[in-house]
Chain A
Amino acid sequence: MTQPFSARPQDLPTKAELARLRVEYVKDSRLSYLGHLDLIATIERCVRRSRLPFSIGNGFARRMRLQFSGALPVGASSCCEYFDLRLTEPVDAKVALDALRAATPRALAPTSASYVPGTLPALEAWLNRATWCVDLSGAGISPASVIEGIESLRADGKLTYLRGDKEKTVSLEQCLVDYSVEAKPDGGVAVGLETRSGNGAFLRPGILLSAAVERIGLEAPSVMRTRRTFQLHEEDGRLVEPFGPFAESHQTPVS
């Protein structure tokens, strides 16, 4: 389990030759406020603690070769986050998963791990479809009002909102694939969303739903809990799960 530190750069294995372990993990609701950069630093430490033979990049900063699925919006939890870790030598995926589990706080527990082809594109761009569950409640918020608000926004085809003091626009035609709304026993509303991302466009569920209720004159929801429940890859109208099965060859560029 040595790492290629003392080797000359030209002797190091290229990235595509390194074993690429894909790991699925959760982000517990308690950690939904942990930002993406802090999350990356935390997972890096978990990998170090796991003592897996992780690979280090050749760059000046010598960063661990670790890639993540797209950042969750702050405030959202998830049961389906992913990272790809390059190893200098393959370790049985089950053994690796156990080592990672033992080294990771429960709130970020890894749930499965498996090797994927080294030639797949980077996770962040590749996982371009997601499913979300959002629970919200607030004055006047009902299934009917949420549907009315979303439909009204959809009729515009796009959603414009403020992020800090910057105005952003996201295409709902492209990014909002489908949705469902139902009443919850506690009086709140549960919304299911299917979204698509790509070319820098990313629809934040919280922003969509706040805008939807505000559109019909209601106040922003007083409580909103967002959870990502699936991430998938969409290719030529076909949906691929994170662990495959993958098509035979990949025409896409190497990450």
Chain B
Amino acid sequence: MRAKRENLFDRLEPLLADVEHPARYLDHEWGACEEQDGPFHLCMVYADVYEVGQPNLGVAILYDRINAQPDMSCERCYLPWKDLSAKMREAGVPLLSLEGAAPLASFDAIGFTLAHELIATNVLETLDLAGIAISSDERDEDDPIILAGGPSAWNCEPLAPVFDAVLLGDGEESIVEVCACIRDARSEGLSRADILRRLAGVPGTYVPSLYDVVVDETSTRWGYAVPRVGEEVPEVVLKRAIGDLSKTPAVAQKIVPYMGIVQDRLSLEVLRGCARGCRFCQAGMTYRPVRERPADQIVSCGVEALLASGHNEISLSSLSTTDHSQCEKMLSGFNEELAEKGIRVSIPSQRLDSFGVDMAAAVAGGRRGGLTFAPEAGTQRLRDVINKNVSEEDIERAARNAYEAGWRRMKLYFMMGLPTETDEDVIGIARLAERVLEIGREVVGKGRKSGVSVSISVAVLVPKAHTPFQWAPQLDPDEVKRRQQLLLHEVRDRAIRISYHDADVSLVEGALSKMGRGGFELIRAAWEKGCRFDAWTSEFRFDLWCEAARECGVDLVATACEEYPLSARLPWDHTSPGVSKGYLQREWLRAVEGVTTPDCTRSSCTGCGVCSTLGVHNVIWGVRG
């Protein structure tokens, strides 16, 4: 039943006296939209604590969009930390929105951001704390409509029973259409089932309850989804993509938090999409095509927004900021405008070549922390398999430049368990790290005083939906451990440090990435056993996940490490980012042969299919180098 819309902050406030970081729950920050008159009310939820969720640009964009509509309001909600949620349950206080301190269950619609797979149990926790039924088919007629979107919506099947509708692709236009659709349908007195039917007619909107899962000889054991008999819904729901980023507001993030947050700076989206074509990268496949924002717009809006927000740092964010064709122009523009104001510019990652180092130096000023590069694989052969188009010489040159420019600490990111990986490739990681260290010693000098060090961080490949590696098995945990030992053994220099991602976390992530709708039982069981905040190392409970898996008859290892036949119908085939399955299959075959595919923003179209399918194209303002 729909809860009454009322401000319940008075009931929450007494609980804040002895919880960790009460500033998480205060609201009324600078830039927050205090007028929440509706009459249509949406609440955007990031199901993690405030300081993790608040920097999310996607939420900020949608928040802004809805609040700009004359008859709609949008509030925010984050998941309280465990101390507060326990107190809330004890005191009978339901989960509240930030702005109006209104019960979540009083909203017309609630929108979850699925930032990664490990947020799944927190989604359930959020709904439960709000007093809203966890699965779509248990909800009452007038309960809020539960929406979801975001990067990990690309295999949302394990959570599909939770959501009334999932928005695929760029959300800034579709969220408005979806909210308008719900509003109109409600005012016409439509039943909940009919509202969902109508939602399925909004392009880019997937309504799970209108699809049945079929398991047959053409599918994996998780089956595939087909329109339910009698429902007029598309067989494949295509994502939404906006054509021109420059037509959207450059600055979405207007709220300035009171408390320190994870990325405590103004962040501005300088481009969307990346066409480098790394074959493991889900964002690279699902955010295509590349749409740059022009440098002039970035600089003028960025400077204005800095003055308006009071931040002393701006982050130029995107999947590959240094690929922006006007990167130099953008950075020199900021330097000119901001040099006198003590404001720093940061770019989230640099490409692995001399240009990347130059750009890192341009924003670093006098600071020289660690410099991060991601070769991803230790040998050229394997880098070709994953289509990481950098050569040994690129890496060596970049490292040399970086040492010459004053950096001393290099961080190198790698992945283990890439398809076709052999011991030689693993040992290659050690050799590459040693080579980088050696270059540092050549440039800076030997001896401990030189401060030259290399740290390598090795993650396990988690094959993701809609990538050329979606058919690949994840590496068996025992084999992961063996290869980790091998690498440890191979690295002899004490100036090289190795860190590994937690293999258990990767295993759960891998299982969730591969499963179909049947995976919901596992998530629910894990949540019921107490799994929360799985992305927090301190909170992740592998034992509970294993227990839950046993009870549900799921073998986590077998699930994550299963190879799917190239011809199989996959659990996520009914949702599409516009990149064709044929392209992904070709890319998989090229990977196995070690043949690379160029970046279409630097050469010609390589035929992924996005542009013709969605009627969009790459928008590049200059010439990419």
Contacts and interface: CB of A to CB of B under 8 A. Distances in A.
User: Are the chains A and B members of one assembly?
Assistant: yes
Interface of A: 2-3, 5-6, 30-31, 33-35, 37-39, 41-42, 44-49, 51, 56, 62, 74-75, 103-107, 223-224
Given A31-B26, A34-B258, A48 B340 contact: no
21 contacts: A3-B341, A3-B342, A5-B339, A6-B340, A30-B28, A33-B16, A33-B17, A33-B23, A34-B23, A38-B23, A38-B258, A38-B260, A42-B256, A45-B30, A45-B256, A45-B310, A47-B310, A48-B311, A49-B308, A56-B342, A224-B17
A30 B26 contact: yes
Q: Which of A2, A6, A30 has the most CB of B within 10 A?
A: A30
B23 A35 contact: yes
Given A34-B259, A42-B258, A105-B28, 20 more contacts: A5-B339, A5-B342, A30-B27, A31-B28, A33-B26, A37-B260, A38-B259, A41-B260, A42-B30, A42-B256, A44-B310, A45-B256, A45-B311, A46-B30, A47-B310, A48-B307, A48-B312, A49-B308, A49-B310, A74-B22
Q: Which of A5, A33, A51 has the most CB of B within 10 A?
A: A33
B490 to A, nearest CB: 40
A75 B14 CA distance: 10
Contacts of B309: 45, 49
Nearest to B308: A49
B338 to A, nearest CB: 11
Interface string B310-354: 111000000000000000000000000001111000000000000
Contacts of B258: 31, 34, 38-39, 41-42
Interface in B534-554: none
Interface size bracket, B side: 20 to 34
A81 B385 CA distance: 62
A62 B342 contact: yes
Contacts of B339: 5
Given A33-B22, A34-B259, A38-B259, A3 B308 contact: no
A223 B9 CA distance: 15
Contacts of B312: 48
B111 to A, nearest CB: 26
Contacts of B37: none
A116 B30 CA distance: 29
B212 interface: no
A70 B258 CA distance: 19
Interface of B: 9, 14, 16-17, 22-23, 25-30, 256, 258-260, 307-312, 339-342
B20 to A, nearest CB: 11
Contacts of B14: 223
A74 B23 CA distance: 10
Contacts of A33: 16-17, 22-23, 25-26
Contact of B28 (A6, A39, A47, A106): A106
Contacts of A2: 340
A107 B307 CA distance: 21
A49 B260 contact: no
Contacts of A74: 22
A135 B145 CA distance: 42
Nearest to A64: B342
Contacts of A38: 23, 258-260
A37 B21 CA distance: 12
Nearest to A37: B260
B30 A105 contact: yes
Contacts of B29: 105
Q: Which of B9, B258, B312, B339 has the most CB of A within 10 A?
A: B258
A38 B311 CA distance: 14
Nearest to A75: B17
Nearest to B21: A35
Q: Which of B17, B30, B309, B311 has the most CB of A within 10 A?
A: B30
A48 B314 CA distance: 14
B307 A49 contact: yes
Contacts of A46: 30, 310
A44 B310 CA distance: 8
B26 A34 contact: yes
Contacts of A42: 30, 256, 258
A5 B339 CA distance: 9
A44 B309 CA distance: 11
B345 to A, nearest CB: 15
B183 to A, nearest CB: 31
A62 B366 CA distance: 13
A51 B26 contact: no
A34 B307 CA distance: 24
B230 to A, nearest CB: 52
A19 B225 CA distance: 70
Given A30-B28, A33-B16, A3 B259 contact: no
B22 to A, nearest CB: 3
Q: Which 6 pairs from chain A and chain B are nearest by CB?
A: A45-B310, A33-B22, A48-B310, A49-B310, A38-B259, A105-B30
A107 B341 CA distance: 27
Nearest to B24: A33
A140 B260 CA distance: 40
A33 B28 CA distance: 13
A118 B83 CA distance: 46
Nearest to B28: A107
Given A30-B26, A33-B23, A62-B342, A51 B307 contact: yes
B364 to A, nearest CB: 15
A48 B312 CA distance: 8
Contacts of A75: 17
Nearest to A3: B340
A75 B16 CA distance: 9
Nearest to A29: B13
Nearest to B19: A33
A33 to B, nearest CB: 3
Nearest to A49: B310
Contacts of B340: 2-3, 5-6
Q: Which of B14, B17, B29, B307 has the most CB of A within 10 A?
A: B17
Contacts of A41: 258, 260
A38 B30 CA distance: 13
Contacts of A34: 22-23, 26, 258-259
A144 B342 CA distance: 57
Contacts of B341: 3, 5
Contacts of B260: 37-38, 41
A76 to B, nearest CB: 11
A38 B342 CA distance: 20
A42 B307 CA distance: 14
A46 B340 CA distance: 19
B310 A103 contact: yes
A163 B181 CA distance: 55
Contacts of B259: 34-35, 38
A204 B310 CA distance: 32
Nearest to A74: B22
A46 B29 CA distance: 11
A103 B31 CA distance: 10
A121 to B, nearest CB: 27
Contacts of B17: 33, 75, 224
Contacts of A37: 260
Contacts of B28: 30-31, 105-107
A228 B312 CA distance: 31
A58 B30 CA distance: 29
